[in-house]
Amino acid sequence: MASISNLGYVVIGSKKLAEWEDFAVNLLGMQVGRSEPGKLLALRLDDMQQRIIIEDGEEEDLRAAGWAFKTDRDLRAFVKRLQEQGLPVQECSKDEATNRRVENLYSLADPNGFTQEFFSGAYAAPSNQPFMSQRLRGAGFKTGDLGIGHVLIRAQDYGKSLDFYQEGLGLRLSDIIRAEVRPGYVAEAAFFHTVGGRHHSLATGAVNIPKVLGHMMVELHSLDDVGLGYDRCRAAGLNFARELGHHPNDQMTSFYVETPSGFSIEYGWGGLVVDDESWTVKTYNQFSDWGHARPGQAVR
């Protein structure tokens, strides 16, 4: 069966394009791929032309998640399966595909309020324009077959969301976390991976968050770059949703910093890669096994 390879890009609607550029380039170490003032900012993390696309819009939230397929044949087989399930997937125009910098593009409304996009043939940057960061010391962002990272989505209906992501999109369950995050309030999230193997490319949960996108994650090859990014964000006076800490399920060491749009970016290192031949789904009772304190919260 044709399966999603990885999370290839995300699209954010925002009125704060200039703030996003300063944040992404000067603090997180990304690179501008292209910029249309007042309309669009496309950010690079690697040798692809764009990975994070900020489009002019009022949402300050996620607009679309773009899922990569290795071949057009795999993409078309996947789309056919969606159609056979009665899901209203649509082929996008050539102009829409070009704007995403891909050869072939389809879209499907997600039940949680954004658009799922499926593509093949992502445009690589010219060989004479390698990824260059002004801030990173190590080997850069960990992408490739793993994709750009992950997104955590607020589930409007948790049960229906699990069905959509597993039975509809064919994502593979990695594990579940069910934890009392404050007295009397239990939060639960499910974590899904693709054939690319990143521990999770999408998570969704019965969680109390104000936006569709709770956070997105990008991973670095170097723990030092995570620490240096933390220091830059602190020196810039940014708000942290979570201080430095460690997750028990994906083994990520990270911090969460607020973006110009109000949701957070998790900036991390050391995430697990799933081997489906040996992987066992588990349920955890804590989201973090050390750190990740909220601002002003005492460390456990």
With cut-offs at 50, 70 and 90, classify the pLDDT of residue 232: very high
How far apart CA 259 and CA 17 sit, in angstroms, is 11
CATH tag for 144-291 (out of 3.50.50.60, 3.10.180.10, 3.60.20.10, 3.40.640.10): 3.10.180.10
pLDDT tens per residue, range 263-279: 999 999 999 999 999 99
pLDDT of residue 17: 98
Res 86: pLDDT: 98
Residue type for position 218: V
Q: pLDDT at position 299, please? A: 54
Please give the torsion angle defined by the CA atoms of residues 244, 16, 97 and 130, in that order, rounded to the nearest 10 degrees: -60
Question: Domain spans of the chain?
Answer: 6-122, 144-291
pLDDT, mean of residues 194-223: 96
CA R_g for the chain = 18
Say how far apart CA 115 and CA 125 lie, in whole Å. Answer: 25
- Of 268, 282, 264, give the one whose Cα is nearest residue 154: 264
- In this prediction, residue 102 carries a pLDDT of 98
Tens digits of residue pLDDT in 173-191: 999 999 998 888 899 999 9
Contact 146/198 with Cβ under 8 angstroms? Answer: yes
Query: Which pLDDT score is estimated for 275?
Result: 97
Query: How is 99-132 classified by DSSP, letter by letter?
Result: HHTEEEEEEEE-TTSSEEEEEEEEPBPPTTS---
pLDDT confidence of residue 296: 73
The b/e string for 199-213 (b: 16+ C-beta within 10 A; e otherwise) is bbbbbbbbbeeebbb
User: Could you tell me the sign of the dihedral formed by the alpha carbons of 231, 236, 242, 248, in that order?
Assistant: negative
**What's the average model confidence in pLDDT over 129-156?**
97
Determine the longest span between alpha carbons in the chain, in angstroms.
Answer: 56
The one-letter code for the residue type at 151 is V
Could you tell me the pTM of the whole model?
Answer: 0.97
Q: What are the tens digits of pLDDT across the range 96-138?
A: 999 999 999 999 999 999 999 999 999 999 999 999 999 999 9
What is the reported pLDDT for 114? 98
Specify the amino acid at residue 142: K
Q: What is d(CA 12, CA 184) in angstroms, rounded to the nearest whole number? A: 33
Mean pLDDT of 227-246: 98
CA 47 to chain centre: 18
Return the structure tokens found at 67.
Answer: 């899922």
Dihedral of alpha carbons 153, 159, 162, 164, sign:
negative
Fold of domain 6-122: 2,3-Dihydroxybiphenyl 1,2-Dioxygenase; domain 1 (3.10.180)
What CA–CA distance (Å, rounded) separates 99 from 110? 21
CB-count burial class (<10 Å; 0-12, 13-18, 19+) for 257:
buried
Neighbours of 183 (CB within 10 A): 5
